[in-house]
Amino acid sequence: MTSRNYPIEIKGLVKRYGKGPMVLRGISMKIDKGEIVGYLGPNGSGKTTTIKMLTNLIKPTAGTVKIKGIDVQKYPKKALKHVGALIEVPGVYDYLSPRELLTYFGRVYGMRKKDIEDRIVEVLKEVKLSRSVDDKVGSFSTGMQRRLMIAKAIFHDPEILILDEPVIGLDPKGIKEVRDLVRKLGSEGRSVLMSSHLLSEVSDTCDRVIFLNNGRIVEDDTVANIVDKASFRRIDVSFAKLQSDRAILDINSITGVDRTERNNGGASIYYDGKPVTGGSILREMMKAGYPVYSFTPGSGGLEQYYISIMGDEKGVS
């Protein structure tokens, strides 16, 4: 029985520069056909390093990277013909127009002249730049430049898209336009790996999220499941008098408390959201003699879930 060839498959990927710290520490992932996967983590966590190895811009210290079952390091040309990529802040050709830029890359891809002309019309319509086909790229806004680079990435109609921070530098309108485009591309059966440090954008765009921190995958699940996991709750407590840092630490040690954060005149206490747990925490606080003046329940949400699984670890560059 032959093994299945995933659009993207990474096994035991390690990267270390010289004698420096590990940038990636043995990560593995598989991305299926038509799946939009968010690759999420703080700056310096190893997201761009992963993407550069997927596109053969740097070599792994150990492990394998495969595109449709083809080893990228051994057969880069064969593997990467299936890939369109947007990596970091794109280098744009200010003196060229979109027509000139895309014509050049069409020739690089070995496309026929008529196919290039037809494809220019198609992709510029898709990224909403049709009216700017002959304008100089140097006159474009950041959002327009970003959309043009996405047009370049999809120009040869690849089955797989690898996008590094595709909405960086965009205003809300530009972010929505890119989000809608990525969703459309996924609905057409393309596999998309999209790195970002914006939790809300990944959760609004992707089917699945992989959390990376300090070179390790710390979570890999569907957006729906992660939203469910994020349902822990918060109690905002105010006190009759200001409490010391030691008191806040003592509250943090109460059974059922996930963590405690100081806020103006009080504390935010995070727990599992169960009424019995919340009630128990408040009773234990009263028993311990804390002068609770008021408390307000609230939701922790995705952002707090992200913080909870990342902890205090710092990413590496």
> ∠96-100-106 over CA atoms, to 5°?
135
**Between 225 and 194, where is the model more confident?**
194
Distance in angstroms (rounded) separating the CA atoms of residues 300 and 235: 9
**CATH code for position 285:** 3.30.70.100
Residues 145 and 126 occupy one common structural domain: yes
Give Cα 152 distance to the centre of its chain.
21
Lowest-pLDDT range of 47-51, 61-65, 268-272 = 268-272
- The pair phi, psi for residue 178, each rounded to 5°, is -70, -40
Host domain of residue 253: 233-299
Burial 269-297 (b: 16+ CB within 10 A, else e): bbbebeeebbebbbebbeeeebeeeebee
**Is the Cβ–Cβ distance between 268 and 297 less than 8 Å?**
no
Residue 313 has pLDDT above 60, yes or no: no
Residues 166 and 45 occupy one common structural domain: yes
Lowest-pLDDT range of 81-95, 177-191, 296-310 = 296-310
Q: How many domains does the chain have?
A: 2
Residues 181 and 220 occupy one common structural domain: yes
Query: Minimal CA–CA distance to 251: which of 272, 232, 268, 233?
Result: 268
Instruction: State how beta strands 36-40 and 191-196 pair.
Output: parallel
Residue 269 has pLDDT above 70, yes or no: yes
Instruction: Indicate if the alpha-carbon torsion angle 39, 45, 46, 51 is positive or negative.
Output: positive
Answer yes or no: is 243 within a domain: yes
Q: Considering the chain, what percentage of its residues have pLDDT values greater than 90?
A: 48
Q: What is the mean pLDDT of the chain?
A: 87
Region of residue 44 (left: phi > 0; alpha: psi -120 to 50; beta: else)? left
Q: Write down the pTM of the prediction.
A: 0.78
pLDDT band at 304 (very low <50, low <70, confident <90, very high): low
Query: Minimal CA–CA distance to 90: which of 46, 49, 132, 145?
Result: 145
